Every structure is written in C-alpha cells, then in structure tokens.
Amino acid sequence: MRKSLRASLMLLAGPLVLAGCSASRGDARDVAGGEVVVEALVDAPDQFFTSDDATIRYRAIGEGAPVLLLHGYTDRVEMWAGTADSLAQDFRVIVPDIRGFGLSTRFADPARYGRKMVEDVVRLLDHLELESAHVVGYSMGAAVTANLALDHPARVRTASFVAGPFYPDSTTAADLFQPFVVAQERGEGLGPFFRWILPTWSDSAINEVLPMLEATNDSAALIASLRALPGLMIDSARLATARTPAFAIVSVKDPLFEQSRFLARAWPGTRVVELQERDHADIFLATEVVSGFRELVERATP
C-alpha cells in the first residue's frame, strides 16, 4: 500500500514519471469497435497562449462538451493523465499548467498569483472561443475553480472540487500556510508542507519523493503562490450565493477534510463524497472523482 502511495505522489512530479506510463492509454476508444482512438494526454502536443503577463501552457484531447482540469500546488498538466484520458471518451478535455507551475510562466511576486490564476482560466476559455465549460479542480485548483464559478458563473457549467483548501477567511488560511512559506524561505524545501498535508506518511516515504518534486518546481514561484493562496478563500456568505451545480470529494485522512465539509454546507446543493482509503496525495486517482463528475453533469444537463 505504501509503495502505491509513493508512486501516486511521484505522479505529481510531472513527466519524468508519466512519460513512460502506458496505463493512461487504457481508456482509449476501441478501434476494433469502429470508434476513433482518443489521443492520450501524455502524447498530446503542448500549446501556449498569452494571458496578460503570463504564457500559459495547455493540452487538449477528445471531443464533446468542454471540461477543464485544474491541478494543485506543486503539480502540472501531466498529473491528470488517467483522468483526462477517461473523460476524453465523451468530452473535450483541456488541461492547463496554472501560472507558476509546469511550463507556464513562473513569477517570484505573490501579486502575480491569487486571482490572476482565475483570470487566466477565463482567458483560456476566450482563447479557445468557449462560452463555458465544466471545471474540475484539485487542491489549489479547487480554490481557483470556486472563485471562477462565483466571479464568472456564466462560464462554469458545473464545478467539481477535489480536496480543496476551503478556509472561511484569508486570515485563517494565511496563519496556517505561513510556517510552510517560512520553511521554504529558510531553505527547508517542501518537507514541512508535505508532512502536514500527508500526516499518515512516514518521513522516509516523503523524503523519497521530495527531490523530484523540488527539481520540477521553482522555489520562488512555490513561495509566492503559497503566499497568495489565502486570497482565494471564500466566506460562507459568498459561497451561499453560488448557483453552479457542484460536487466535492475528499479523504477522511486529509487535513483539508473539514474544509470540504464547510464548502458543501455553504454551497447550495453540493454533494460531498468522503473516501476512507485515499489521502491528499492520491485522491485525484480515485474512480469516484470521474464517476462523481459524470453524475453531476448528468444531473445538471437539461
């Protein structure tokens, strides 16, 4: 079990692991059945567009109603490989590198993050000439998704939140994240952050994967984006104004478990799925993410 958990966290480190992973192709359509093969996310070409002061990388596969997949802190496009391939059987799946991560522009200034991440997604929809899309966000990406749905409700058909950091106010979030910012500024790297977010992991298991995560990220961008993350927190009064159909999923082992419950209580009509066996590192791999999204879309479609 621990070996599989270490492997799942290594997926977050990007293409060094995923480029050689053939499992993501298992969801492609069957040629023998007369259907067109869906290109795997790991094989899709990188595309780029300019959003204000940033160059944003993205990949797109499949056809149908558009779905945006937004990754988490320290992540990048490739983390969504299996999920994207599965959804691409029925949807047009678009996966960007959020600014500061992957091959998108990395900034050392916290002012370049926060709500600018939300506006990047709006500009991506504009760039692709899409009026709206279903949006699935994991961890930090879930916070971006929530703000997108509240700020631009006409652009979001459904919102799916996977283990999001939904604190009721920016001060609470800032107080929580500050020690991890300081640790990185002192040169301690991501260790303190991951020991908090993965409380059931041993230090040796975390230390095994940290070098790859730190090698595929920029330290200044990690610090700046984490400093800006509290600016994406939403209070219960504002959450109560949401009209976008929503679904949330979280592990009971996740330190963000109560934050997902808070969101589900405040966001009208949100169904929350609580998993017993996953944690923050591998919940995005759970089959319940795709099945919950598909159920949400079916309920929301007239």
For 79-102, the pLDDT digits (tens) are 999 999 999 999 999 999 999 999
Query: For the chain, what is the mean pLDDT?
Result: 90
Burial grade of 174 (CB within 10 A; 0-12, 13-18, 19 or more): middle
What is residue 136's three-state secondary structure? strand
- The pTM score is 0.91
Residue for token digits 């610090």? 223
| Confidence bin at 54 (pLDDT 50/70/90) | very high
**Model confidence over 164-190: pLDDT tens digits?**
999 999 999 999 999 999 999 999 999
Helix (H/G/I), strand (E/B), else coil: 99: coil
Please, is 164 exposed, middle or buried when counting C-beta atoms within 10 Å of its C-beta (0-12, 13-18, 19+)?
buried
Per-residue pLDDT, 285:
96
Q: Hey, is 120 helix, strand or coil?
A: helix
* Structure confidence at residue 47 as a pLDDT band (50, 70, 90): very high
281-293 mean pLDDT: 97
The encoded tokens of residue 38 equal: 């869906």
Query: Could you give the strand order of the β-sheet that contains 47-51, starting from the edge strand earlier in sequence?
Result: 47-51, 54-61, 91-96, 65-70, 133-138, 156-162, 246-251, 271-275
Closest CA to 52 of 132, 129, 123: 123
Rg (CA), the chain: 18
